[in-house]
Amino acid sequence: AHEVALAPRCRIDLMCGGVGIEIKRGKPVRGRLLEQLTRYARCEQVEALILVAERSVDLPRSICGKPLRIICLNRLWGIAL
């Protein structure tokens, strides 16, 4: 599902079962992104999170006890940005 409302003023890009997927272009601001992912992780319907980002960002492997996996396109495919 696309643009799923998890709570008031809390909308994630995609949900696939219990996995929430957030997509970011450019290099995300770590603090803001961590706050956003924490809001998502606190929602009962989210069992795990995947972040797909154009550029790498350092984040923990889990948030609120829920696994977080990061897919950085510039690392995987050598995209020159």
pLDDT in tens, 3-49: 999 999 899 999 999 999 999 998 889 999 999 999 999 999 999 99
Tell me, what's the pLDDT at 55?
Answer: 87
Say whether pLDDT at 76 is over 90.
no
Tell me, what's the pLDDT at 79?
Answer: 52
Say whether pLDDT at 57 is over 60.
yes
Say whether pLDDT at 74 is over 90.
no
How are strands ordered across the β-sheet holding 10-16?
Answer: 2-7, 10-16, 19-24, 48-53, 66-72, 62-63
Tell me, what's the pLDDT at 71?
Answer: 92
